[in-house]
Amino acid sequence: MKAYLAILLVFFLAVNCKKKDFEEEECTTTEKSYEPTIVQPNIPQGFPQMAIPQDNPLTIEGIELGRHLFYEKKLSGNNTMSCGSCHAPSLGFSDSARFSVGIDNIAGTRQAMPIMNLGWKLNFFWDGRSATLEDQAFLPVVDEIEMHENWPNAVSKLQSDPIYPDMFRKAFGTDVIDSVLVVKAIAQFERTLISGNSKYDRVLRREEGFTPQEANGFSLFSSLTGGDCFHCHGGILTTDHSIQNNGLDATLTDLGLGAVTGLSSDNGKFKVPSLRNLVFTAPYMHDGRFNTLDEVIDFYSTGVHGSSPNISPNMEFASQGGVNLTPGEKADLKAFLLTLTDSSFITNPDFQDPN
Ligand code: HEC
Ligand code: HEC
C-alpha cells in the first residue's frame, strides 16, 4: 500500500497539466521521459521473419546502448577486452586465432564464432548450449578464460561511467543498471547484425548473374551427386540450424553436444555453421583446424572419417571418405562459396565501435 501511494505521488509530482482556454490539456513532465523508439530489424529480401522476444523489443536507444556495450572493455576484469576483441568486424565479427585468448592470456578450446544473422538461430555456441542471445551474453563476461569479471563489478563500473546511466534510462526507463539490462541491450544490437547483401543474394534477387564457374559451383553445392553441401548448409541462411557430426575425426577429443546432454549418442555433434562471409572468418570448424577453404573442401572431398561416432546420415559418401571432387570441381565449389561474401556487412558504420 505504501509503495502504491509513493508511485501515485511521483506521478502527481512528475506530471503538471495546464488547462488551456479551450478543452485541450497541455502537459509537461518534469521527469525526463522514457520513450524508446521501437524499430523492426532490417530483413533482406528473401530472408524469413525474425522472432524478437516480447520482453526485449528492438529500440533505437537499446541498439545504440548495445553497440557501446559490445565494444566496452569495462566488462572485462582488467578493462582490456570487449566482446568485439574476439568478434572483430573486420574478421566477420570473429577471431583469426585458432583458439581465442582471454584477459589472462589463457586460450580456450574452440574457435570464436561469427556474430551474424543470429536473430534466426535457435541456440548458441558450437554445442548449442545457450537457448537465447540474452542468456548467451551473460557467459563471456564471467568466463574465466575469456573476460574473467564478475557481474556486480562490471555493473558498478558502468554505473559510475559518465555515459551509461543516461543511456540505460533512455533505453529501459531506469538509470539503475543491472546485468539483465546489459544482456538485453547487447542482444538487441546483435539482432541488427544482419548480413544479406552478398553476390549470392544479388543473384537470387536477379540483380546480377553468376559466372559459369560460380554457377557450376552452386550446382555442385546443391546436388547429391556433386558436393552434397545443401543437405546441411542449404537455404538462404546456409544452415539448417541442426547439430550434427560431419565426420572430422575417427576419435573424438571434444564431445560437443554430448558433453552438454551427457548422451553418448550426441558425442561429436556440433552446430551446422553459416557459410556466409567465410572469406573473413578463417580458421574453420569448432577447433579452427582448417586455415583455408581449400583445406575444408579437401576434407569434404576425401578426408571424411566414415567411422566417426554418430556421423550424420546426411554425410552420404562418408564410407568412401567424402564426395570425391575433381580439382576443377573443387575450384568451382570454392568460387561459389566466395559469392557468399558481403563486404558491406563488415564495413557498415552502424556496427562499428562507437569510440
Ligand atoms: C576471449 C574471446 C571471446 C570474447 C571476449 C567473447 N567471445 Fe563470444 N565466443 C567466443 C568463442 C570461442 C565462442 C565459441 C565458444 C563455444 O562454442 O564453446 C563464442 C561464441 C559466441 C556466440 C555464439 C554464436 C553462435 O552462432 O552460436 C555469441 C552470440 C557470442 N560469442 C557473443 C559474445 C558476446 C556478446 C561477448 C561479450 C559479452 C563475447 N561473445 C565475448 C570467444 C569470445
Ligand atoms: C551432415 C551435414 C553437413 C554437410 C553435408 C556439410 N556440412 Fe559443412 N559443416 C557441418 C557441421 C556440423 C560443421 C561444423 C563441424 C565442426 O566444427 O565440428 C560444418 C562446418 C563447415 C565449414 C566451417 C565453417 C566455419 O565457420 O568454421 C565449412 C566451410 C563447411 N562446413 C562447408 C561445407 C561444404 C562446402 C560442404 C559440401 C562439400 C559441406 N560443408 C557439407 C555439417 C555439414
Minimum-distance ligand 2 atom for the alpha carbon of 268? 18
Distances (CA, A) of 203 to 193, 199, 217: 21, 6, 14
Q: Span 170-180, mean pLDDT?
A: 97
Q: What is the mean pLDDT of residues 278-303?
A: 98
C-beta 149 within 6 A of ligand 1: no
Tell me the per-residue pLDDT of 224-237, one tens digit each, with 9 for 90 and over: 889 999 999 999 99
**What mean pLDDT is predicted for residues 118-145?**
96
pLDDT band at 7 (very low <50, low <70, confident <90, very high): very low
Residue 160 burial by CB count (10 A; 0-12/13-18/19+): exposed, middle or buried?
exposed
Confirm or reject: Cβ of 303 under 6 Å from ligand 1.
no
151 pLDDT tier (thresholds 50, 70, 90)? very high
Question: For residue 30, is pLDDT > 80?
Answer: no
**What spacing in Å lies between the alpha carbon of 328 and ligand 1's midpoint?**
36
Q: Is the CB of 229 under 6 A from ligand 2?
A: yes
pLDDT band with cut points at 50, 70 and 90 for residue 32: low
Residue nearest to atom 6 of ligand 1 (CA): 83
What average pLDDT does range 58-80 have in this prediction? 98
| Section 127-155 average pLDDT | 96
Mean pLDDT of 88-112: 95
Whether residue 197 contacts residue 44, with contact meaning beta carbons closer than 8 Å, is answered with: yes
Better-scored residue on pLDDT, 203 or 24? 203
- The pLDDT mean for the chain works out to 92
pLDDT of 336 above 70? yes
Q: Which residues contact 157 (CB under 8 A, 6 or more apart)?
A: 74, 79
Among 307, 206, 192, residue whose Cα is nearest residue 247: 307
Cell triple for 180 = 539483465
- Asked whether 248 lines ligand 2 (CB < 6 A), one says yes
Average pLDDT of the residues in 136-140: 96
Ligand 1 within 6 A of CB of 274:
no
Give the pLDDT score at 34. Answer: 83
pLDDT band for position 4 (cuts 50, 70, 90): very low
